[in-house]
């Protein structure tokens, strides 16, 4: 075995060097190990338990395996904060409760999905995760409120769901990503007025995503927290879009932000949810000249015929040259099918004759530019 220890700064005296964690070793800031496969794996494992960086360099096809029982005699006393692992299987993580930074490099293709999942469930202090050549194809981060999670390059990722989790990422780092689900609530305190937070931008969550074809968004809360215009946002391949749980107190025309950035959209589904709050101010839109040549179906659940809802319906009708069906339902809900698919479950509602005629006239009066007549369903 060959071992190298570098940057051993601030070495303690022998009397003060006893560590209450995994090993009774002197305390140092950084340890780097490079070793060949030998029968001495138990000793190596104990060293790695104290290391910042560990790399297995003997025949890359042979990945190092850690014992199933863990690396430390007293796992709950481990104080390791930063760990980099290369060409090995992910070790048991119960002992790394203080870990804040984790780098994974050259992991074996046979690494089980459960090992990746354990990273988020067993490392509550984790703030940074970097998987250098990850084979992960599907990633779900849900209710992880233990700090900011940073995602770097995930070259094989195809589907990602970010649900009520503070995550930093660039979608351009996921070149094969096609399905995205973003659920975020901003503003948890009920107030008597609507606070507009201009500090947040849809680009943070949806920017630079050239390959996404299916998108689910659930942006809710007591604050309308997005900017009225995202000039760099573009989703050139998006085909299916669900905007769910839109608070009824918001200006429902906000999805126009996305409509203007998805030239190939074919299916648009919107769900409006009741929300006990005073209505927000209307968004003031700048006139723009563009059209949609692929959108064929538009469905809104929770439609009540308000002025802003009718404005949005007319806007979609006006800019969609291939639109065939517009369905407006007062009652219904979204039924999830996993994290990246859904069904629009509708319930029939009996509109009053005068109210129905008034709504239909307001929609018909705004003549659409569709090449064929649009079928309008109001239930």
Statement to judge: residues 332 and 188 lie in one domain: yes
Question: What's the rounded Cα separation, in Å, for the pair 218 and 181?
Answer: 8
Question: What's the rounded Cα separation, in Å, for the pair 222 and 277?
Answer: 7
Dihedral sign, CA of 309, 314, 316, 317? positive
Statement to judge: residues 181 and 229 lie in one domain: yes
pLDDT of residue 334: 96
Statement to judge: residues 59 and 184 lie in one domain: no
pLDDT of residue 311: 93
Helices in the chain by DSSP H: which ranges? 41-48, 113-122, 203-206, 256-259, 307-319, 353-364
Domain count, the chain: 2
Which of 135, 161, 186 terminates a domain? The answer is: 135
Statement to judge: residues 226 and 88 lie in one domain: no
pLDDT of residue 54: 46
Statement to judge: residues 368 and 239 lie in one domain: yes
Statement to judge: residues 198 and 274 lie in one domain: yes
Angle, CA 235 vertex, CA 231 and CA 238 arms, to 5°: 150
Integer CA distances (angstroms), 155 to 69, 89, 133, 135, 174, in order: 32, 19, 7, 7, 5
pLDDT of residue 57: 46
The per-residue pLDDT string of the chain (379 residues; one tens digit each, 9 = 90 and over) reads: 333 333 332 222 223 333 334 444 455 556 565 544 555 555 555 555 444 444 544 444 567 777 665 555 555 566 778 888 777 788 777 777 778 888 777 777 777 777 777 787 778 777 777 666 567 788 888 877 666 777 877 888 899 999 988 888 889 889 999 999 999 988 777 765 566 555 567 888 898 888 999 999 999 988 777 776 666 688 999 999 999 999 998 999 999 988 988 999 999 999 999 987 778 888 888 887 788 899 999 999 999 999 999 999 999 998 998 999 999 999 999 999 999 999 999 999 999 999 999 999 998 755 555 567 889 999 9
pLDDT of residue 354: 93
pLDDT of residue 340: 93
Statement to judge: residues 103 and 7 lie in one domain: yes
pTM above 0.85, yes or no: no
Angle, CA 181 vertex, CA 143 and CA 249 arms, to 5°: 80
pLDDT of residue 268: 97
pLDDT of residue 335: 96
Statement to judge: residues 193 and 129 lie in one domain: no
Statement to judge: residues 167 and 86 lie in one domain: no
Domain of 202, in residue numbers: 139-145+153-379
Strand stretches in 178-231, DSSP E: 179-185, 214-220
Statement to judge: residues 123 and 88 lie in one domain: yes
Statement to judge: residues 173 and 101 lie in one domain: no
Question: What's the rounded Cα separation, in Å, for the pair 234 and 253?
Answer: 18
Statement to judge: residues 220 and 111 lie in one domain: no
Number of Cβ within a 10 Å radius of residue 260: 18
pLDDT of residue 43: 53
């Amino acid at each position: 075995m060959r071992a190298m220890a570098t940057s051993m700064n601030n070495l303690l005296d022998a009397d003060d060097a006893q560590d209450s964690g995994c090993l009774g070793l002197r305390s140092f800031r950084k340890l780097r190990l490079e070793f060949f496969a030998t029968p001495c794996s138990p000793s190596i494992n104990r060293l790695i338990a104290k290391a910042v960086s560990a790399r297995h360099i003997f025949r890359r096809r042979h990945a190092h395996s850690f014992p199933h029982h863990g690396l430390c005699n007293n796992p709950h006393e481990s104080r390791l904060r930063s760990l980099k692992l290369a060409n090995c299987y992910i070790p048991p993580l119960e002992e790394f409760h203080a870990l804040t930074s984790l780098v994974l490099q050259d992991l074996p293709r046979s690494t089980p999905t459960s090992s990746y999942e354990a990273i988020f469930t067993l490392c509550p202090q984790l703030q940074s995760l970097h998987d250098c050549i990850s084979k992960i194809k599907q990633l779900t981060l849900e209710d992880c409120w233990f700090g900011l999670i940073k995602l770097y390059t995930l070259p094989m990722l195809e589907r990602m769901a970010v649900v009520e989790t503070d995550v930093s990422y660039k979608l351009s780092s996921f070149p094969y990503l096609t399905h995205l689900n973003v659920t975020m609530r901003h503003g948890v305190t009920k107030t008597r007025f609507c606070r507009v937070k201009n500090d947040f931008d849809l680009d943070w969550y949806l920017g630079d995503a050239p390959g996404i074809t299916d998108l689910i968004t659930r942006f809710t809360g007591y604050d309308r927290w997005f900017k009225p215009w995202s000039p760099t946002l573009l989703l050139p391949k998006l085909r299916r879009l669900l905007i769910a749980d839109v608070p009824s107190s918001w200006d429902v025309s906000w999805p126009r932000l996305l409509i203007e950035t998805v030239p190939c959209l074919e299916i648009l589904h919107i769900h409006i949810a009741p929300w006990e709050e005073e209505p927000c101010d209307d968004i003031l839109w700048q006139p723009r000249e563009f059209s949609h040549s692929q959108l064929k179906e538009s469905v809104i659940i929770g439609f009540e015929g308000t002025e802003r809802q009718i404005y949005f319906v007319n806007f979609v009708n006006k800019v969609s040259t291939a639109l065939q069906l517009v369905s407006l339902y007062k009652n219904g809900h979204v039924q999830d099918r996993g994290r990246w698919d859904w069904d629009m479950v509708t319930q029939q509602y009996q509109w009053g004759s005068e109210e129905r005629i008034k709504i239909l006239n307001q929609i018909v009066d705004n003549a659409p530019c569709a090449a064929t007549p649009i079928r309008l369903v109001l239930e």
